[in-house]
Amino acid sequence: MRYLKPSSVSEAASLLESSQGMILAGGTDMCVYMAEGFCSPETLIDLTGIDALRGIQINRDDHEAGTMIIGACTTIAEIAASEELPTCLRQGAQAVGSPQIRNLGTIGGNVCNASPCGDTLAPLLTLDAQFVLRSAGGTRTIASENFFTGPKKTVRKPNEILESIELPIASCGKVSAFRMIGNRNGQAISQVNASVCLAIADGRMSDVRVAVGSVAPIPLRLVELERFLTGKDIQGMSLTELREPVLEAIRPINDVRSSAKYRQEVTVALVFDALADCAGQYSRVGEGASTC
């Protein structure tokens, strides 16, 4: 196997094009796949020497809007610790694996691995994230909700590198929360996870985005539920009234981690709990509550 460690994104993109190799970031998924024989690339292109792929940057425009740009090789630990980022994304990152996994694993790896249970994916959907893909031929930007096509499948082409993740600052200024359930506290992969992001004015919800993971082949936005919640009083929500709009949207399966029935019940509870967290943030801070 050839191991290459480029020092710029353009070098990485041309190496990827010419070698048809595979990308290595933190290696927390890739090393498992190679050890278990799921893949044996002839060329591995390690992105961890590219400083431009790391860190969080804020680009404001003249109207104080703009974009928060997260380099694809920013580690999950850095995301978990960043006070600039919205609560749901930080909470999602905090839920990933163990300190060792969070120190090595990257947000770009979590996105490109495209596991339906990836803990940063539902938060990125609720924050309306855009993914910037770079190849030797240029860049293109894909909305997070159009990126995932199936378990471990995305629209990314083999010659493309995920360069950065862009969050509209407008979505970062809302209240948000993430919840997951696993079968133990440490190192547990999510059986179900849920993320909620919304604005609140006079106690009523608007701009609601809800996404869930591990209950469909891809991380899923619950658009009907978002419509149902819009205009409602966040303090007056009950778990029972969420049941129907949540259950109509999800298609969980039975697998080694849990049964479909269990996932259905837990999804409703996690969405409710995330909404309750948002209500708590609102009642502590009041109008203008914001998570970053």
User: How many residues does this entry show for the chain?
Assistant: 292
Cβ-based neighbours of 126, under 8 Å, separated by 6 or more: 88, 171, 176, 195, 196, 197, 209, 210, 211, 221
For ligand FAD, which stretch binds (CB under 6 A), given 93-101, 168-176, 226-234, 268-276?
93-101
Contact between 187 and ligand FAD by CB under 6 A: the answer reads yes
- DSSP 8-state class, residue 61: -
CB of 88 to ligand FAD, least distance (A): 14
Contact between 76 and ligand FAD by CB under 6 A: the answer reads yes
Contact between 173 and ligand FAD by CB under 6 A: the answer reads no
Beta strands in the chain, from DSSP E residues, in sequence order: 2-4, 22-24, 43-46, 56-59, 67-71, 130-135, 138-143, 148-150, 153-154, 161-168, 175-181, 192-201, 204-213, 220-221
For ligand FAD, which stretch binds (CB under 6 A), given 28-36, 203-211, 227-235, 244-252?
28-36
CB of 234 to ligand FAD, least distance (A): 28
| Cβ atoms within 10 Å, residue 62 | 6
Of the pair 23, 212, the CB lying nearest ligand FAD is at 23
**Amino acid type, 63:** H
Q: Give the span between the Cα atoms of 202 and 70, in whole angstroms.
A: 32
Contact between 128 and ligand FAD by CB under 6 A: the answer reads no
Residue (of 273, 218, 219, 220) closest to 242 by Cα position: 273
Contact between 80 and ligand FAD by CB under 6 A: the answer reads no
Of the pair 155, 285, the CB lying nearest ligand FAD is at 155
- Out of 15, 85, 89, 96, the only residue in the binding site for ligand FAD (CB under 6 A) is 96
- Out of 6, 21, 86, 105, the only residue in the binding site for ligand FAD (CB under 6 A) is 105
Task: For the segment 141-170, give every residue that binds ligand FAD (CB under 6 A).
Answer: 161-162
Of the pair 75, 176, the CB lying nearest ligand FAD is at 75
Q: Give the span between the Cα atoms of 87 and 286, in whole angstroms.
A: 16
CB of 263 to ligand FAD, least distance (A): 16
CB of 9 to ligand FAD, least distance (A): 9
Q: Give the span between the Cα atoms of 64 and 173, in whole angstroms.
A: 11
- DSSP 8-state class, residue 233: B
Contact between 30 and ligand FAD by CB under 6 A: the answer reads yes
Of the pair 86, 118, the CB lying nearest ligand FAD is at 118
Number of residues that bind ligand FAD (CB under 6 A): 30
Sheet holding 2-4, edge to edge: 2-4, 43-46, 22-24
Contact between 119 and ligand FAD by CB under 6 A: the answer reads yes
What tokens appear for 146 in the block? 């159009």
- DSSP 8-state class, residue 189: P
Q: Do the Cβ atoms of 205 and 198 come closer than 8 Å? A: yes
Q: Give the span between the Cα atoms of 53 and 108, in whole angstroms.
A: 9
Of the pair 86, 105, the CB lying nearest ligand FAD is at 105
Residue 199's DSSP bridge partners are 206
For ligand FAD, which stretch binds (CB under 6 A), given 55-63, 82-90, 97-105, 167-175?
97-105
Residues of the shown chain interacting with ligand FAD in the complex, contacts defined by CB under 6 A? 22-30, 32, 47, 72, 76, 96-97, 101, 104-106, 108-110, 112-113, 118-119, 161-162, 187, 189
